[in-house]
Structure formats: structure tokens, C-alpha cells
């Protein structure tokens, strides 16, 4: 979710669910240690609980970055061992680390020694021609021995050569039963399912059917964020924050006004809310108005109000919108 789940996106998603754990986009250790750290790690207190996802493979650098993240107030440090992009491969981290469980264990040990908050790992089933079960179970065995108790598993392999990151999200076949088997054999671990979950309802069904501990939604939540409004009733036995997307817009406007007063551009925030009315009458006009007007110099909250006015209040979903 690089370039997607920035702080504006997370604030918006927090409005929709008070309890779901939010994750940052992957931030490399090099960027934290040598780049604009304050900007990269900034987040609103309303985002809690929020996890910082790190990209890297050097234990000392990861430990230092984890310490910085914990000091910044993050609730969890997550190590990405699943991203298959060429840029990440060149840095020798992401999905490449599936083949180096001993190194990942060292990284986890270093990070856990540096912070008091949970250190978790996001991974795939394996890479390229790996035997999925052998690779996944060996990886989890070694990394859990280093103290990692939570694994978020994208339930397909990554092909490091020949497939783009987009293709890697769709072409390698899903293997949910293998994730369920891992949970059965390692009931002591928290196993979170990821990959191929197109909706909150599908996530809830998968968690129940597979008897895993939870689900992570990525692009599905971004493209149809209103779906997140059901997260609290479905997973946390709590009422929804809002009954209608228009109320979300009203709750977001003060945040937008505050960010604009600090010099932020409207489009940086508005691009994350394009899918809020997905599937409802007027949704296309809503998206078009934001896309055409939010990038303009001096664009303000009235752009969002005018866009939302194009969707009738009380309108329900329909496939044609």
C-alpha cells in the first residue's frame, strides 16, 4: 500500500472504524534513518491503534527504526516480508526475506530488544518455485522462535521474476487452507489472513471458516471504504460510527480545514475519499467533481461539500452507479 495509506488516508479510515488496527504504508529503514523522518512518521492521535510497517533487512537499522517508531507513539512495529516489487528486491528486503528466515529472526530479535511494543511480520507463502507448505512452516518456525507472535499472511506466493507487483496480487493462486493448517498446528500464534479478500463480509466469512484470528484488508478497503463502517459491529461487537457516508464527510471536514490551514493541498486528502459512495447513485459525479476540482490552487472544503451534494442522502448501493 505504498503511496496509499498515508496519514490522511488513515485518519479517514479511523472515522469509519474505531477499533480496526491501521497500518502505515511501508517505510524503509533508510528513509527513517536518513530522510525526512518527522514527515514520514507523522500521524494524528486519532489514528490509534496504528502500526508502523518497516521495510529493511539489517537488524541494527531495523532496531533503530523500530525505536524511533515506538518513540513517535506507534502501537506496533511490523516487518514487511511480502512486497515483491523490483525496487524492494534491489534493497534485498520484502518478499526476498521469505528465503532468509534466520535473518528475519535476527531482525525480530533486534527489534524486540529495542522496543516494548509488539513486533509482527507480514509475509507470503513463499516465493517462485518454493514448496509453499515447507517454506511457510519453516519461516514461521524460525521467526516465531525469535519471539514474533503475530503473522499477517498474504495467502499466495510471490513471483520475484516475471510478474509485476499488480500481477503478484492476482495471478499466483490463493491457498487459504494452508493458512488454516498453520493456525491449527500453531494455535499459540496469532494468524491474520490477507489476500483476495474483496469485502468485509468475505473477510468475516473467511475468518470463521478458516478459524484464523483476523483478516487484513488492503485495496478492497481503499476502493470501497464505506465497507469499513461494518468492521466494528462485525469484529468488535461495537456499534458503527456512522449510518450514512454523508455523515462521514461532515466529520472529515474539520480535519480538512485544519490541514489546509497548515499548507496542505486539498487533493492530498481528497484522493483518499473518492470511493466513499461507491455503488450509489451519483457516485460517478461525486468522484468527477473531486478529481477535477481538488487539485486546483486554493481548493477548499467547499469542493468536498459540493461533491457530496451530488449523491442523494439516503441513497442505497446499486451496481450501475
List pLDDT tens digits, range 203-262: 999 999 999 999 999 999 999 999 999 999 999 999 999 999 999 999 999 999 999 999
Q: What is the DSSP letter of 158?
A: B
Comparing CA positions, the residue from 232, 49, 236, 77 lying closest to residue 150 is 77
- The yes or no reply on domain 245-308 and CATH 1.20.120.1460 is yes
Task: Categorize the per-residue pLDDT at 321 as very low, low, confident or very high, splitting at 50, 70 and 90.
Answer: very low
Whether the predicted pLDDT of 318 surpasses 70 = no
Contact 100/138 with Cβ under 8 angstroms?
no
List pLDDT tens digits, range 135-145: 999 999 999 99
- Provide the annotated active-site residues: 83
Whether the predicted pLDDT of 1 surpasses 80 = no
Average pLDDT over residues 51-80: 97
Domain spans of the chain, in order of start: 7-224, 245-308
Average pLDDT over residues 27-40: 95
Whole-model pTM: value is: 0.93
Residue percentage of the chain with pLDDT more than 90: 85
Contact 152/123 with Cβ under 8 angstroms?
yes
CATH tag for 7-224 (out of 3.40.50.450, 3.30.565.10, 3.40.50.300, 3.20.20.70): 3.20.20.70
| Residue 39: per-residue pLDDT | 92
List pLDDT tens digits, range 136-178: 999 999 999 999 999 999 999 988 876 666 776 677 899 999 9
Does the fold of domain 245-308 match that of domain 7-224? Answer: no
Amino acid at each position: 500500500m505504498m503511496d496509499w495509506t498515508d496519514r490522511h488516508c488513515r485518519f479517514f479510515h479511523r472515522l469509519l472504524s474505531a477499533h480496526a488496527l491501521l497500518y502505515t504504508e511501508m517505510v524503509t529503514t533508510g528513509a527513517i534513518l536518513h530522510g525526512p523522518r518527522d514527515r514520514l512518521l507523522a500521524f494524528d492521535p486519532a489514528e490509534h491503534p496504528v502500526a508502523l510497517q518497516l521495510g529493511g533487512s539489517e537488524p541494527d537499522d531495523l532496531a533503530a527504526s523500530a525505536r524511533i517508531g515506538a518513540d513517535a507513539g506507534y502501537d506496533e512495529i511490523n516487518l514487511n516480508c511480502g512486497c515483491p516489487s523490483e525496487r524492494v528486491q534491489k534493497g534485498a528486503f520484502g518478499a526476498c526475506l521469505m528465503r532468509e528466515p534466520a535473518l528475519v529472526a535476527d531482525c525480530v530479535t533486534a527489534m524486540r530488544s529495542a522496543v516494548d511494543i509488539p513486533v509482527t511480520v507480514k509475509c507470503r507463502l513463499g516465493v517462485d518455485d518454493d514448496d509453499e507448505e515447507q517454506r511457510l512452516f519453516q519461516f514461521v518456525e524460525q521467526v516465531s522462535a525469535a519471539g514474533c507472535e503475530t503473522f499477517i499472511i498474504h495467502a499466495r506466493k510471490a513471483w520475484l521474476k516475471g510478474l509485476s507487483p499488480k500481477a503478484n496480487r492476482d495471478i499466483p493462486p490463493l491457498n487459504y487452507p494452508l493458512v488454516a493448517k498453520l493456525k491449527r498446528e500453531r494455535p499459540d500464534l496469532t494468524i491474520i489472513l490477507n489476500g483476495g479478500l474483496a469485502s468485509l463480509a468475505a473477510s468475516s466469512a473467511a475468518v470463521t471458516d478458516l478459524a484464523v484470528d483476523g483478516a487484513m484488508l488492503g485495496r478492497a478497503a481503499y476502493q470501497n471504504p464505506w465497507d469499513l463502517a461494518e468492521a466494528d459491529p462485525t469484529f468488535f461487537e461495537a456499534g458503527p460510527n456512522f449510518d450514512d457516508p454523508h455523515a462521514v464527510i461532515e466529520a472529515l471536514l474539520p480535519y480538512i480545514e485544519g490541514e489546509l490551514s497548515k499548507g496542505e493541498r486539498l487533493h492530498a486528502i481528497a484522493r483518499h475519499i473518492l470511493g466513499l459512495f461507491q455503488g450509489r447513485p451519483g457516485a460517478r459525479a461525486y468522484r468527477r467533481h473531486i478529481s477535477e476540482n481538488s487539485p486546483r490552487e486554493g481548493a477548499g472544503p467547499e469542493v468536498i461539500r459540493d461533491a457530496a451534494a451530488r449523491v442523494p442522502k439516503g441513497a442505497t448501493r446499486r451496481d450501475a452507479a
